[in-house]
Amino acid sequence: MDLGAILRRYCSDLTRTVCVGRAPARVRRWYHAVQQAQAAAVDLIKPGVAAGAVDAAARRVLQGYGLGRYFVHSTGHGIGLEIHEEPRLARGQKRHLEAGNVVTVEPGVYVAGVGEFELKTTSP
């Protein structure tokens, strides 16, 4: 699930994995891999580190699990007055993180046909 809120003009962004019932073993393995990828990325975040290096750390973990081809977006992005703003934690990004940057760290594994659903809502 990917959701957020805006309060006093500041944005939030939250991604969570939810499973109804017991997840199959392969999905639990993927979940564990994503947790490790997220931890590897978070461990690098500090002023002076290139944003692309943070992304690369997450990708290395997922590659190690044979899941690299299922990581089809960036590791994260800046957040503040916009939901998606600089710096981008993505491949090849040379911009260095600075004190005060607020970023999301949301690597993911997206396998077509697995875990997909669409939540439909109606307006009053």
Dump pLDDT digits (tens) for 53-64: 999 999 999 999
Dump pLDDT digits (tens) for 87-98: 999 999 999 999
Q: What is the mean pLDDT of residues 33-40?
A: 97
pLDDT at 62: 98
Residues contacting 1, CB < 8 A, separation 6+: 14, 15, 16, 17, 18
pLDDT band with cut points at 50, 70 and 90 for residue 75: very high
Higher-confidence position of 32 and 115? 32
Neighbours of 15 (CB within 10 A): 16
Q: What does the alpha-carbon distance between residue 43 and residue 41 come to, in Å, rounded to a whole number?
A: 5
Relative orientation angle of helices 51-64 and 25-44, to the nearest 10 degrees: 150
